[in-house]
Amino acid sequence: MNVPDADKDRQLLALLSANAREPLASLARKLGVARSSLQERIGRLERSGVIRGYGVRLGAAAQPATRAFFLVQLDGPLCERIAPQLAGLAEVVACHSIAGDIDMLLEVAAGDLAGLDAVRARIGALAGVRRVQTLPVLKTRFERR
């Protein structure tokens, strides 16, 4: 049975997401392809931007202990202007533009509640930010990153 290329790519990406350091020979065996064709496939995915890089996933001990989601409401369609300012805040882990009454969803990590409060104050002081609501994370049940 021949699995279509898109399915092979998805399988490869899942394997690399689980362990980006897995040897090519092992990946090729799991996918049922030659090592050389796997290298070409990975190169193509890198060149096309599907694979942007390889990194380290930090364990809980290495991450700031206090996390929260911030719901940010803006005074108008200002996401394009506000996002670069948020990118300059190291505590902002992720920034998403969303639909509805809330304009942006931010994931924020700090050492403690006082750190979260300081970040919240900086975001709230940005021109165009109407309101910031904080949703503290009590416990992360699982994370796929």
Lowest-pLDDT range of 28-37, 54-63, 117-126: 54-63
At 1 the pLDDT is 37
Q: How confident is the model at residue 13 (pLDDT cuts 50, 70, 90)?
A: confident
Instruction: Give CB contacts under 8 A, 24+ apart, made by 4-9.
Output: 8/33, 8/41, 9/41, 9/45, 9/50
At 39-49, the pLDDT tens digits run 999 999 999 99
At 57-116, the pLDDT tens digits run 766 565 667 999 999 999 988 899 999 999 999 999 999 999 999 999 999 999 899 999
CATH 3.40.1190.20 fits domain 63-136:
no
At 45 the pLDDT is 92
Q: Report the predicted TM-score, pTM, of the whole model to 2 decimal places.
A: 0.63
CATH class of 5-47: mainly alpha
Q: Where are the domains of the chain?
A: 5-47, 63-136
**CB neighbours of 93 closer than 8 A, spacing ≥ 6?**
67, 107, 108, 109
